[in-house]
Amino acid sequence: MTANQNGRKAKAVGINHIALEVGDIDEAMEFYSGFIDFKIERRSKTAAFVYFGDQFINFALGRNQGPDERRHFGIAVDDKDLARETLENMGIKFLDGRFLDFLDPWGNRVEITTYTNIQFTKADHVLKGMGLGHLAKTEDALAELKKKDMAP
């Protein structure tokens, strides 16, 4: 374990963003906006910065590896059933397993999860600013957070 001279290390607070490689920025924006609502903060021919409140995905031109097998990222949504239905209508084939996983057109593995069912929590003011102030965590999600002294 490496630390500074005082034995201290920085504490991880969360994930601010991910960088996701795609083959075409315009096609990626069309694909992802087909099933989720987001704000494009900046966009060029080689990159797009898509915000979900206080977090973002940096879509970057240049995917050249094969499809992801287990490596993936998760998007928490307000309505997983609606996301599933929309993806099905887009012709997306889901991967085998207990999660709602699929490969995007460039082989990035995406998992869709329900915000209310997981520990990940946005600040109330961020949810309100996103128009999602009505979302509340399930009892199971709150119990998981309580075990960690992260919920009342």
Q: How far apart are CA 24 and CA 12, in angstroms?
A: 32
Q: Does 25 fall in a domain?
A: yes
- Go through 22-37 and write b for each residue having 16 or more CB atoms within 10 A of its CB, e for each that does not: beebeebbebbeebbe
Q: Does 111 fall in a domain?
A: yes
Would the pLDDT of 26 be above 90? yes
Domain containing 101 equals 17-62+72-147
pTM: 0.90
Percent share of the chain, pLDDT over 90: 89
Kind plus residue range of the DSSP H or E element containing 139 = helix 139-147
Q: Does 11 fall in a domain?
A: no
Would the pLDDT of 143 be above 80? yes
